[in-house]
Structure formats: C-alpha cells, structure tokens
Structure 1
Amino acid sequence: MPDVSSQLRNCCVRRSQAFYPEGVSRQSAHQQSADQQSADQESAVQPSAVTSHVFDRTAAERVMHRAVHLAADQELEESVDGISEQALIEAAAELGVDISVVQQAAVEERLGLLVQKPQRGDSLVGPAVVTVSRIVPGRPEDVLESVDSWLRKAGSLQRQRSGSLSAKYSQRTGFAASVDRSARSVMGTEELGLLPSLSVSTAAAQSGPAGEPSALVALSADLHAERSAAVVGAAGTAILGSAFAMCGVVAAVASASGGTALEMAAGIGLAMLALLGIPISCALGYGVLVLRARRISTTEDSLNGILDQVATGTLPSSTFGHMADRLLRSLRSLRSPRPGPPV
C-alpha cells in the first residue's frame, strides 16, 4: 500500500514547482508561505483589536468630524462616489440620533437648504436669509396649495412664480393691500406682509407608519436688502456721531487756546465731554444691529406660525373675517354673566 505522507509530499513539491519560477528553492517557497500566513494572522487579529473600542456619542462626533476634514484633503478620484441615505440613517442610529431627524435633514439637503454658507457678521446682525422647514402630512402638491392660501390670505403676499413643487412671493401693492396691512398691524398680526421676498419649496418625505404621504415644506425669506440697510445705518450712525464728536473736541480746544487758565480748563472739560460722543455713537450703531437681529427671531416665529397652521390643516380666513371673529368674541365676553360673590 503506498505511503500517504509521501504522496502528499510529492504533490506539494509538484505544486510548488508549477507555481514558483525556476531557481526558487523549496525552502524559500516554504518561507514565503509561512510569512504570508503570519501576515494574514496579524491582519485578522489587528482589525478586531481596533474595532473592539467603543466610543461615546461625543467622541464619535469628534471622530466623524475629523474624518470629514481628512477626507476633504483627498483627491476627488480617491474619494468614494457617495453615501446612501440608508447608510446615513444607520450611522445616526449608532450615535443615538432620531431617524426622523436624519430623514428631514436628507430632504433639506436635496432641496439645497444646507448649502447656504454663513456670512461674516451673521452672529451680530443676523443672517440674510431666514429659512424654516418642517415635515407635514400630505402630498407636496397639496401642501404647497395650503401654504399658498395662507400666504395670500393671511400674509398679504402675492405669488410671482409658481412651479409644481415651489413658488415665490412678494409684497402686495395697491390701496387694498395697504388697508389690509394696516388692519393686520392694528391687530398685531402683520409680519409676513413686510417681507420683500419669500420662497416656498416642497419635496416628498418618508411615508408615515401607516403609509400616509408626508412632505417637507421650507419657507425662505430673502432679507439681503434689509440686512444691508441695517449694516449701512449702523456704520453711518457710528461714523457720523464720531465725526461730530471730534468736531466738538476741535472747537473746544480752539476756543480755549490763548485764553486764561479758567477758559483753558473749561475748554479741556468741554473737549472731554465731546469725546464721550464717540463711544455713544458706536453704542447706538451696535444697537441698530442688535435690534435687527432680534427682528430675525420674530420673522422666524411668523414663518413657523404658518407651518403650524399647515400641519394642523387649519384653513385661513380673510383679514376682515378675522376682525369680525375677534369682535364677536369680545361681545360674547361682555355679555357673559360675571360670577357673583361667594355666599
């Protein structure tokens, strides 16, 4: 009976002679095979040792933030083609982020809402474009019609351009629009009518648990002109006030020169008082910027109010209808009997 070990040895020799070129000894072949096996073992052990480390959420965010910066330094041909939305959702789930928030952010990215870069001074004077967005129930076309009704009837705006999933609005002009805005100003509800330009964008979002459709609606108010006017007004207030203060200093010094000691002391005192106009002017200019930044929050609240009404499915009413409702509520409150004194 043939020796099995000798047959296996001969088979290995034949395989090594067929695989390796001539001149390579069997010992070197065995050495390379051993080196390859050790390398495979090291590569198999090393990833498990690295991936066994567990990061908390804060550390994971730092790692991803650093990885994005490192990936930005790579060449385009070395980068990946893209990341699917499902992969982003799975990564967010690992970090403990709500999936619905990731889905909303993904739709906002598709609409181009996340591409807007902040400008210098936004932290002080506020942004030039105010955008609010929300996922509401309904198809994108129906949601756009609902927003259109609210903006035209309750916002004193007129539609300029309209598409299947987007629209653009501006202020209404004319006597009727002025009366409408005045009435809303008296009621304290006039905010959107003062916006020079407003854009509406909608897109289909993830369906609900029961399969009902939902859409993301975004309202973007263009405030570039208003922001520029605020910056120019603040700069003009600071510069002109400082210039007048310096003129007062020069006049006080000129009137005191060549006079008596008492007149010189009075001139120096007036010059010091005039110098106070410089910080006061700068403070007034800063106040103009702060007031503009506070109005931004009011605009955001007004836009979110429209989204609240759209999300609940409330139908808008006209200005005079709203005034009539308030008048009726006031009359009912007057007619309602007041509670008598306790017995």
Structure 2
Amino acid sequence: MTSPEAPKIDRAALDRIIQRAAELQTGERDVGDSLTPDEVLALGKDVGIPGRYLQQAMLEHQTAVAATPDQTLVGRIVGPAEVRAQRVVQGAAEDVIRSLVGWMDKNELMVVQRQQAGWISWEPLRGMQAAIRRGTASLDTSKPKFMLSRAELVVATVTQLESGYSHVTLIGTLRRTRGEHLIGAAVFGGLGVGSAAVLAGFGLFAVAIAPVALGALISAIWLRGVRPIADRVQLGLERALDFLERGGVKPGHELPNRGPGLIDLLANEVRRVLKP
C-alpha cells in the first residue's frame, strides 16, 4: 500500500513560512530597533542567506521610490495614465541597458526611440515588421505573448549604484489608450442621449430612458477595459525585470555576435526589390 503524497506548498504559503522562520531565527538574538548593514549581513549568514542577495535586497530597499497612485478623477474611475516597476539588479548600467534592448527586441513589439547615457525609450513597432512578428508569434504557443504593445512609450532609467549593482526603473505610458477609451465612452453615451431625444420627439417618453441606460451601460463597460490593459503592461515591465534579475545581464564581451534575423532579411529583400 503506497503512502499518501505529502501536501504541496504553494508560493504564498512558502513566503509565509520563510518569513516566519526568519522571525523565529531573529527572535533568538537581540537585534534592537535597527541594524547596520554589516549586522544585517551577519544575521543573514546565520540564517543561511548568501551575502550578495542581502546586499541586493538592501540596495533595493534604499533606492525604492513608492509609486504615487493617480489620484485624479479619471485615474480613480478609469485607470492610470502610466505604470511603473523598479528593481535593483546585478550588473553595470551599460550592460543592463544592452540586455534590456535585446530583451525588448526579442520578446516585445517595441523599437528604440531615443537613447542617452543611463536612459532609453521605446515605442511600438509598426508596419510590415510588426505584422511578421505577430504572425510568427501566433505559431509559437510555447512563449508568452507580447505584453507592452498597448503602451505608446516605455522608458527605462538605469542608475549605477555600488560596484556591480544598478537600479532600474521602467515606466509604461498609457495616456493615448486611456484617452481612446474616454472618447469611446463619450460617443456611446452621446448616442444614447441622442436616441432618447429622438424618441421623446416622437412622443415615446415611456421608452426614451432605455437608450440612455443602454448607452451608460456600454460606456461603463468600455471604460473598464483600461485597467486590464494597464495590468498587462505592468506585468510586461515586471517580466523584463525578472529577466534582468535572473542573470539576463551579461557583460559586453560575453555576448555572442548577432547576425541578421529573419525579419531583417525579409525587410532588406523588400527594400532591394522596391529600390528603383
């Protein structure tokens, strides 16, 4: 007779267990109200946490900037005009930016718009290249789909911290998307009011309220579409930071030489054919 399988522990439970174990471990020592960085490293050594992870976590805590929620009326009702994510990763600032460019080129429909020292922005890829990328991605179900294509602008700011660490902030702008949803909601609401006025003009007052209610309902549903888009862009930013955090940053001399991809070859061939 086989013994029953031990119950599995999910990620949320694992986080609580680790947090509680750390509390029990620190409870055996008099840590006081505050600790110096060296004391934190010593405590982490007792618990068994490698020093480089503690160093990275402390830098992330020191440089973290709390995101200010959009307190405007439109922001509270419809959704944010921008989303952001930030993290401290291992690597020099120039290597982080180089890795981000490679990630965006491979996993998102974004193209570099501007680039300066420690700062880079992307805009959506359009035209034939975007169509080809979408077509090939639809055939490969093993990879997550593009997550940042609804953002009209993605900006990365990379600040060098201590040797070997950089602070990365990613911001995705959604003002155009939010504006389009506001315009759509206004159109639906206006059609409802206009239809009600026409019905009232024919003396059908009993049913004149129906178009107004229907227009208001459609407008509300339409406006609710902004937050799922913002959540997906937020997830896309976090996914890029996960890549950097899990060893995606490579020094320039370790990167292999990259040849032209399929899209580049197709685009060059089309340019050659169209060239007079």
TM-score range, shorter chain: 0.5 to 0.7
Residue 191 in structure 1 maps to residue 144 in structure 2: no
2:171 to 220, 234, 238: 220
Structure 1 residue runs without a partner (length 5+): 1-88, 91-97, 254-266, 321-343
Match of 2:239 in 1: 305
Kindly provide the amino acid, as one letter, of the partner of residue 131 in structure 1: R
Give the superposition deviation at 1:273.
2.7
Letter in 1 for 2:106: K
Aligned match of 2:194: 243
* 1:290 is aligned to 2:190: no
- Please tell me whether the aligned partners of residues 123 and 154 of structure 2 are also in contact (alpha carbons under 8 angstroms): yes
Alignment of structure 1 residues 109-188 onto 2, 5 Å: 109=65, 118-185=71-138, 187=141
Does 2:182 align with 1:231?
yes
CA distance in 2, matches of 1:100, 1:123: 34
Structure 1 residues 105, 284: closer, same or farther in 2, change over 3 A?
farther
Q: Is the 8 A contact 1:154 1:319 kept in 2?
A: no
1:273 aligns with 2:224: no
- The 1:100/1:125 distance shift into structure 2, 3 A limit, reads farther
| Aligned CA-pair RMSD | 3.4
Q: Using the alignment, how far apart are the partners of 1:108 and 1:163 within structure 2?
A: 23
Question: Matches of 2:56 and 2:199 in 1, distance apart?
Answer: 62
What stretches of structure 2 of length at least 5 have no aligned partner?
A: 1-34, 37-53, 250-257, 263-276
Q: How many residues align?
A: 202
Shift of 1:102: 8.0
Q: Work out whether residues 107 and 203 of structure 1, in 8 Å CA contact, stay in contact via their aligned partners in 2.
A: no
Q: Which residue of 2 aligns with 1:49?
A: none
1:141/1:118 Cα in 2 relative to 1: closer, same or farther (>3 Å)?
farther
What is the CA-CA distance between 1:223 and the residue it aligns to? Answer: 1.4
Partners of 2:81 and 2:70 in 1: CA distance: 11
> Secondary structure in 1 aligned to 2:216?
helix
Tell me how far apart the structure 2 counterparts of residues 291 and 194 of structure 1 sit (CA, whole Å).
Answer: 12
Secondary structure of 1:121's partner?
helix
Could you say if the C-alpha distance between residues 168 and 104 of structure 1 is closer, same or farther in structure 2, counting changes exceeding 3 Å? same
Give the Cα–Cα distance (whole angstroms) in 1 for the partners of residues 129 and 154 of structure 2: 20
Compared with structure 1, are the counterparts of its residues 103 and 314 closer, same or farther at alpha carbon in structure 2 (3 Å cutoff)? closer
**1:75-114 map, 5 Å:** 104=60, 107-109=63-65
Whether the 8 Å CA contact 1:143–1:310 is kept in 2: the answer is yes
Distance 1:273 1:185, change over 3 A: farther
Measured in 2, the distance between the counterparts of 1:289 and 1:149 equals: 34
Q: How far off its partner does 1:244 sit?
A: 0.8
**Structure-2 separation of matches of 1:185 and 1:106:** 42
If asked which structure has higher relative contact order (CA below 8 Å, sep 6+), I would say 2
Q: Deviations over 1:266-294 (max 9, x none)?
A: x5xxx323312212211111111111112
Q: Which amino acid aligns with 1:238?
A: G
Shift in alpha-carbon separation, 1:185–1:242, aligned structure 2, 3 A? farther
What is the percentage of aligned positions where both structures have the same residue? 19
Structure 1 CA distance, aligned partners of 2:168 and 2:196?
A: 51
Alpha-carbon distance between aligned partners in 1 of 2:234 and 2:261, rounded to the nearest angstrom: 21
Q: With the length of structure 1 as denominator, give the TM-score of the two structures.
A: 0.51
Higher helix share: 1
Give the distance between the partners of 1:159 and 1:152, measured in 2 at CA.
9
The answer as to whether partners of 1:181 and 1:193 remain within 8 angstroms in 2 is: no
Task: State the TM-score, normalized to the length of structure 2.
Answer: 0.62
